[in-house]
Amino acid sequence: MEAASIPESPAARTRKPFGTVILDNILWVLLAAALIIYFVQDPKQTLDDVKTGLSNGTIWALIALGYTLVYGIIELINFAHGEVFMIGSFVSVSLWQTLGVTPDNAFIAILGSMLIGLILAMLASSVLNVMIERVAYKPLRNAPKLAPLITAIGMSFILQNVGLLWRPQPDSSPDLIGSQKDYFKVFGVAIEHSDVFAFVVTVPLLVGLLWFVGSTRYGKAMRATAQDPDAARLMGINVDRTISLTFLLGGLLAGAAGMIYALYNGTIQFNQGFTAGLIAFTAAVMGGIGNLKGAVVGGLIIGVIQSISDTHYGQVWTPAVVFSILILIMVFKPQGLFGEETREG
């Protein structure tokens, strides 16, 4: 029984006039315009900002993926995700401090300890994320949306305090990657060790994740559950385990981000997760919450926005700039770049 077909009536419009397209996307247009203007004003500085932004952006991309994966599957913002990232940083730095590894050690030792640091961070964060889901979200699956959001905040606070007790003062990570040293120049912009490092770690993880979600049976289960949990259950998919798996993956990525951040940034502290979480969440929303590709693109874009803002408005204003963009997107274009119109709340 089909509905009546679309008549050749004037009601059906298949193509929007160009003007409306611009207006719909005014936000992206303005951002692009700003970038172009700054580039024209000072190409070298802008390129440098873009490079810094992209490197930073990889970290945001990894964290944003965690948000988007979880939101896609249970329509919940995992408020504590930023803290999961922070714990990843802490774990890897603690490992390196325990091993006593320094930049002067043999290359093999450095590489090995970095690898172990990465693995441990990913492990710790993924386990933590799964635990958070079990304790704070699962019992409230049928409660109104207010409830898990509050428990998420509670969890975030508990974890921040754990971080505070672990390291009351900001701590520095051994500079294992020689982060300030240059590798080469591209278009006159110096590419440093830290930039290469960020990409070298992030890209395989992203590829791995996209392959996992796109091609494996478990990934299919995740996508099915995200679309329609009841139907997925009827197909024999264990929804509970799939959700836990999603949190596991999100945690893995956040842990990796934490390790990268520790080496890239050099300093770690207990409240780094709060700001990082908000920034990464902005990235996820910008890309279209629930959309993996969007989270990555969003992360990179936010990174660039941050560095441009740092240069032109000063570091004090950058958080306000990012949060303003968050508000603008959520109010005017909540589907972001790649998302679909969804129900809210």
Partner 1 sequence: MTEQAAQALPESNGAAILEASNISKIFGGLVAVNDVSFTVPERGIVSLIGPNGAGKTTFFNCMTGLYRPSTGRVVFNGRDITAKRPDIVTRAGVARTFQNIKLFRTMTSIENVQVGMHSQLRSRLTGMVFHTPFNRREEKQSYEAARELLRFVGLRRHNELAMNLSYGDQRRLEIARALASDPQLLLLDEPTAGMNPQESEELRKLMESLRSERGISVLLIEHDMRVVMNVSDRITVLDHGEKIAEGSPQEVRTNPRVVEAYLGSQA
Partner 2 sequence: MSTAVATVRSNATSLRRLLPDWAWAVVFLALAILYPYILDVLIASPDDLLDASISTLGYIIMALGLNIVVGFAGLLDLGYVAFYAIGAFVIGWLGSQQFPDVNGGKGIHILTPAKSAFGSDLPGIHINFFFVIFIAAAFTAIWGVILGAPTLRLRGDYLAIVTLAFGEIVPRIFENSTSGIFGIGHTDFSNGRQGITPIDKINFPWSDTAFKYPLELKPVYYVGLAMVLLVIFFNRRLRDSRMGRAWIAVREDEVAAAAMGVNLVRTKLWAYALGAALGGFAGAFLATYTNTVNVDQFEFGFSVFILSMVIIGGMGNIWGVILGAIALSMMNRYGLKQLNGVPEKFGLDFDVTSINFGIFGFFLLVTMVLRPEGILPSRRRKLELHEAEIEGDVIAREEMSQLYDVRHEQ
Q: Which stretch binds partner 2 (CB under 8 A): 40-48, 57-65, 123-131, 318-326?
A: 318-326
Please identify, using beta-carbon distances, which residue of 15 and 343 lies nearer to partner 2. 343
**Residue 11 binding target from partner 1, partner 2, none, CB below 5 to 8 Å by type:** partner 1
CB of 3 to partner 1, least distance (A): 5
Site residues (CB under 8 A) for partner 1, limited to 9-28: 9-12
Among 52, 55, 125, 151, binds partner 2 (CB under 8 A): 151
3-state SS string over the chain? Answer: CCCCCCCCCCCCCCCCCHHHHHHHCHHHHHHHHHHHHHHHHCHHHHHHHHHHHHHHHHHHHHHHHHHHHHHHHHCCCCCCHHHHHHHHHHHHHHHHHHHCCCCCCCHHHHHHHHHHHHHHHHHHHHHHHHHHHHHHHHHHCCCCCHHHHHHHHHHHHHHHHHHHHHCCCCEECCCCCCCCCEEEEECCEEEEHHHHHHHHHHHHHHHHHHHHHHHCHHHHHHHHHHHCHHHHHHCCCCHHHHHHHHHHHHHHHHHHHHHHHHHHHCEECCCHHHHHHHHHHHHHHHHCCCCHHHHHHHHHHHHHHHHHHHHHHCCCCHHHHHHHHHHHHHHHCCCCCCCCCCCCC
Please identify, using beta-carbon distances, which residue of 48 and 75 lies nearer to partner 2. 75
**Residue 10 binding target from partner 1, partner 2, none, CB below 5 to 8 Å by type:** partner 1
CB of 178 to partner 2, least distance (A): 34
| Contacts with partner 2, residue ranges (CB under 8 A) | 75-77, 135-136, 139-140, 142-151, 153-158, 160-162, 164-165, 168, 274, 278, 281, 316-317, 319-320, 323-324, 326-327, 330-331, 334, 341-345
| Contacts with partner 1, residue ranges (CB under 8 A) | 1, 3-7, 9-12
